[in-house]
């Protein structure tokens, strides 16, 4: 079933009693995700939507074996939550927490790599495999998820969580379904970016095309273009690059923390040039994604 997670994925929610987590936990359950336990220190014995709550990850997984966690805790506690999950055998972590100190993110990502665990985020809405499961807040309320997403052959990876759903909805409206849709997170440092996800999509038999939502800032897109060339990746990739006006306003942040152009680094012009060199199709207008996708899917 697509990438990152499947029907056997068993999920815990760290910070489950928080207002945000309480809401998305119900949406996850209603969408078919197997949520087995929640963790909030001091709340052992409570339940959230009939999901038992424990004080620690160890207590939770001893009673309810799990391999994935969605982490929704205050930013200062995110590092500790990630490390606790890793220490207890969790191999897939979706960190929805925002404003996590960059130093903390770098430290827990290094430990995750040592343990061969995959991290999505921080500052992500999560991901969704249409009609199968979702982890985090991807797609928003369950009613919106059911309208915007449908299963099919197009993968989505986006630097904007909200635009993940916008792309899915555009495709669904035009009769094109999706395999896995991932919001990579809006921070400068995230666990899994385009470089990590494209090889997974490339190996996935269900994914025939991938759509990327890109922004100014950073050099991940340029590095991806190099990867496509050097690794001879044949999977068709469509890229839409937002915020081209930012090229003329270097050093100014727009939206996500990673959306900052520094000199010649991270410009949309540079990204477009590299994508074209690698054979990645660049959609001039958002609506052009549909026509290009249909070309590839013929």
| Residue 228, CA atoms < 13 Å, CB-side half-sphere | 24
- Note whether 48 and 25 are within 8 A (CB): yes
Instruction: Tally Cβ neighbours within 10 Å of residue 205.
Output: 8
The residue to which tokens 């993110």 are assigned: 105
132 is catalytic: no
Helix, strand or coil for residue 87?
helix
> Residue 60 in contact with residue 38, Cβ under 8 Å?
yes
> Helix 102-114 to helix 75-87 angle, to the nearest 10 degrees?
10
**How confident is the prediction for the chain on average, in pLDDT?**
93
Q: What region does 217 belong to: left with phi over 0, alpha with psi -120 to 50, or beta?
A: left
Q: Is the pLDDT of residue 215 over 80?
A: yes
Give the residue among 29, 87, 99 at the shortest CA–CA distance from 61: 87
For 32-58, what is the mean pLDDT?
98
* Contact indicator for 206, 221 with CB cutoff of 8 Å: no
Domains of the chain, CATH where assigned = 10-297 (3.40.50.261)
Neighbours of 199 (CB within 10 A): 15
Residue-wise pLDDT for 123-161, tens only, equals 999 999 999 999 999 999 999 999 999 999 999 999 999
Report phi then psi at 94, rounded to 5: -110, 110
Give the model confidence (pLDDT) of 264-274 as tens digits. Answer: 567 888 999 99
Q: pTM for the complete prediction? A: 0.92
What pLDDT shows up at residue 135?
98
List 44, 64, 132, 256, catalytic entry: 256
Find how far residue 283's CA is from the centre of its chain: 21
Which token pair is 189?
A: 């440092």
Q: 């207590």: which residue's tokens?
A: 59
Q: Which two tokens stand for residue 45?
A: 């014995």
């Amino acid at each position: 079933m697509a990438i990152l997670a499947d029907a056997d994925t068993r999920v815990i929610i760290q910070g489950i009693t928080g207002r945000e987590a309480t809401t998305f936990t119900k949406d996850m359950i209603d969408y078919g995700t197997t949520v087995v336990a929640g963790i909030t220190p001091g709340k052992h014995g409570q339940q959230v939507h009939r999901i038992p709550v424990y004080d620690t990850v160890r207590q939770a997984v001893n009673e309810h074996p799990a391999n994935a966690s969605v982490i929704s805790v205050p930013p200062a506690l995110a590092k500790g939550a990630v490390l606790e999950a890793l220490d207890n055998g969790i191999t897939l972590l979706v960190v929805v927490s925002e404003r996590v100190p960059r130093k903390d993110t770098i430290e827990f990502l290094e430990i995750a790599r040592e343990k061969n665990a995959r991290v999505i985020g921080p500052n992500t809405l999560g991901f969704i495999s249409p009609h199968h499961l979702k982890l985090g807040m991807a797609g928003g309320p369950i009613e919106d998820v059911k309208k915007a997403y449908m299963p099919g052959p197009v993968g989505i990876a986006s630097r904007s969580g909200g635009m993940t759903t916008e792309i899915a909805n555009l495709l669904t409206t035009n009769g094109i379904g999706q395999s896995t849709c991932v919001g990579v997170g809006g921070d400068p440092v995230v666990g899994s970016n385009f470089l990590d996800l494209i090889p997974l999509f490339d190996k996935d038999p269900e994914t025939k095309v991938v759509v990327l939502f890109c922004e100014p800032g950073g050099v991940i897109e340029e590095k991806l273009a190099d990867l496509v060339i050097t690794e001879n990746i044949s999977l068709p990739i469509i890229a839409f690059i937002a915020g081209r006006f930012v090229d003329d306003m270097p050093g100014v942040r727009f939206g996500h923390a990673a959306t900052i152009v520094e000199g010649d680094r991270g410009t949309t012009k540079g990204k477009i040039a590299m994508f074209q060199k690698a054979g990645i199709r660049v959609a001039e207008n958002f609506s052009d994604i549909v026509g290009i996708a249909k070309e590839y899917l013929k």
